[in-house]
Amino acid sequence: MNQLKRWLVWVSRCNKCRGFGIQSPTDYAFVRYVVNEHWPYYAYQKLTDGDWLTQKLGRLYFRLANWRQPQVMANDRYRRYWQAGCTRTRFEETLSDTPQLVRIDIDDTDVWQSLLMRCDEHTVVVVEGIWRNWRQWRAMERDERTGTTFDLYYCGIVWFDKRQKPRHYVINF
């Protein structure tokens, strides 16, 4: 993605920085201290491979794993980042149980449908590449089985906790 487009995305979302306008304390803390945390973590110096977007998403995934502390995850290309965030995480090729934290691509609609059947209130799904298919992302947001969603432009985060009223946030990430 070129510099001009990155700048335009940032400017269009600049009023959505650091949790401004979020009324829920849980959602605010998540955005402020997980999504948009700017302090350098202990593993950032070791995790410096790839282009800027890979590093940006990888650091987010590191913070998500650090926050969520999943026991089991599906093996994917960001394994180094997930493992740095939670060293006790076990990686498998396919998840058989209810997932705690999982990353999928926006185009993996079959995987999304199978996840919906197994998710519970502790599940967090990261949907990568939502900017490539806004129609699919909006369908995921509106699905009655999902709870709170966070649109970070480069990826989306879906919570399935139905104890709270479903909310859809646009965040400047």
Q: Which two tokens stand for residue 114?
A: 């199978």
DSSP state of 148: -
Q: What is the pLDDT of residue 13?
A: 60
Question: What's the sign of the alpha-carbon dihedral 32, 33, 36, 39?
Answer: positive
Domain that holds residue 109: 3-170
> pTM here?
0.86
Bridge partners (DSSP) listed for residue 127: 104, 156
Q: Judge residue 25's burial from the number of C-beta atoms within 10 Å of its C-beta, 0-12 exposed, 13-18 middle, 19 or more buried.
A: exposed
**Number of folded domains that form the chain:** 1
Q: What is the tens place of the pLDDT at every residue in 40-60?
A: 777 777 887 778 888 889 889
Q: What is the CATH number of the domain that holds 101?
A: 3.40.50
Residue range 68-88, pLDDT digits in tens:
999 889 888 899 989 988 899
φ, ψ for residue 22, nearest 5 deg: -85, 120
Percent of the chain having pLDDT more than 90? 27
Q: In whole angstroms, what is the distance from residue 123 CA to residue 102 CA?
A: 8
Cα(101)–Cα(124) distance, rounded to whole angstroms? 5
Mean pLDDT of 14-19: 61
